[in-house]
Amino acid sequence: MKHLVAKSGLTALTSLALFGGASVLATDSNTPSFSTVAKAATVSQSQLKSDVQTMVAARNEGGNYVKEVIDGEQLSEFSDDPMEAYNDERGRGFGQVPGALHYELSQDFSMFNQDYAGLMIVYNGFKDRFSSTDQAVLAQDIKDINSAKNSEDKAEKASAFGNDLGSAVDNYGATVTKIESASAAAPKPAAPKPAAKKTVTKKSYVSKLTAKKTSSKKYVKITGTVKLYKSAKYAYISTYKGHVHVKLNSKHQFSKTVYAPKAKHVKVKAGSYSHGHFKAVTSYKTVTVH
pLDDT above 90 covers a percentage of the chain that reads 40
pLDDT of residue 117 exceeding 90: yes
What is the structure's pLDDT at 78? 76
What is the structure's pLDDT at 70? 84
* Strand, helix or coil for residue 272: strand
Going from N- to C-terminal start, the domains of the chain cover 7-179, 205-288
pLDDT of residue 259 exceeding 70: yes
Specify the amino acid at residue 248. Answer: L
For the domain bounded by 205-288, which CATH number is listed? Answer: 2.60.40.10
What is the structure's pLDDT at 190? 63
What is the structure's pLDDT at 37? 46
Q: What is the pLDDT of residues 134-171, one digit of tens each?
A: 999 999 999 999 999 998 899 899 999 999 998 899 88
Q: Long-range contacts of range 206-213, CB-CB < 8 Å, 24 or more positions apart?
A: 206/235, 206/268, 206/269, 206/270, 206/282, 206/284, 206/285, 209/266, 209/268, 209/285, 209/287, 210/287, 210/290, 211/263, 211/265, 211/266, 211/287, 211/288, 211/289, 211/290, 212/289, 212/290, 213/289, 213/290
Q: How far apart are CA 214 and CA 258, in angstroms?
A: 10
Q: Judge if pTM exceeds 0.85.
A: no
- More reliable by pLDDT, 26 or 158: 158
* Strand, helix or coil for residue 113: helix
From 55-69, 91-105, 162-176, 187-201, the region with the lowest mean pLDDT: 187-201
**CA separation, residue 121 to residues 216, 217, 247, 288 (Å):** 40, 36, 40, 24
From 39-53, 231-245, 246-260, the region with the lowest mean pLDDT: 39-53
- Residue 198: what are its φ and ψ, rounded to 5°? -110, 130
16: left (phi over 0), alpha (psi -120 to 50) or beta: beta
Specify the amino acid at residue 41. Answer: A
Nearest Cα residue to 52 out of 68, 72, 28: 72
What is the structure's pLDDT at 188? 58
Q: How far apart are CA 23 and CA 144, in angstroms?
A: 11
What is the structure's pLDDT at 75? 76
Q: How confident is the model at residue 276 (pLDDT cuts 50, 70, 90)?
A: confident
**CA separation, residue 157 to residues 9, 83, 151, 164 (Å):** 20, 31, 10, 11
Nearest Cα residue to 169 out of 203, 118, 205, 211: 118
Contact, 206 vs 280, CB < 8 A?
no
- More reliable by pLDDT, 202 or 281: 281
Nearest Cα residue to 85 out of 31, 137, 123, 49: 49
What is the structure's pLDDT at 186? 53
Q: How far apart are CA 273 and CA 234, in angstroms?
A: 8
- Average pLDDT (108-129) is 92
Q: What is the pLDDT of residues 181-233, one digit of tens each?
A: 766 555 555 666 777 776 667 888 988 999 999 999 999 999 999 998 888 99
Beta bridge partners of 285: 268
pLDDT of residue 115 exceeding 90: yes
Q: How far apart are CA 107 and CA 168, in angstroms?
A: 22
Q: How far apart are CA 201 and CA 207, in angstroms?
A: 17
Q: How far apart are the first and last CA of the chain?
A: 33
Q: By CB neighbour count within 10 A (0-12 exposed, 13-18 middle, 19+ buried), where does 274 fall? A: exposed
Q: How far apart are CA 31 and CA 72, in angstroms?
A: 31
- More reliable by pLDDT, 168 or 20: 168
Nearest Cα residue to 62 out of 23, 25, 105: 105
What is the structure's pLDDT at 273? 83
What is the structure's pLDDT at 2? 35
What is the structure's pLDDT at 191? 63
Mean of the per-residue pLDDT values of the chain: 80
Contact, 281 vs 228, CB < 8 A?
yes
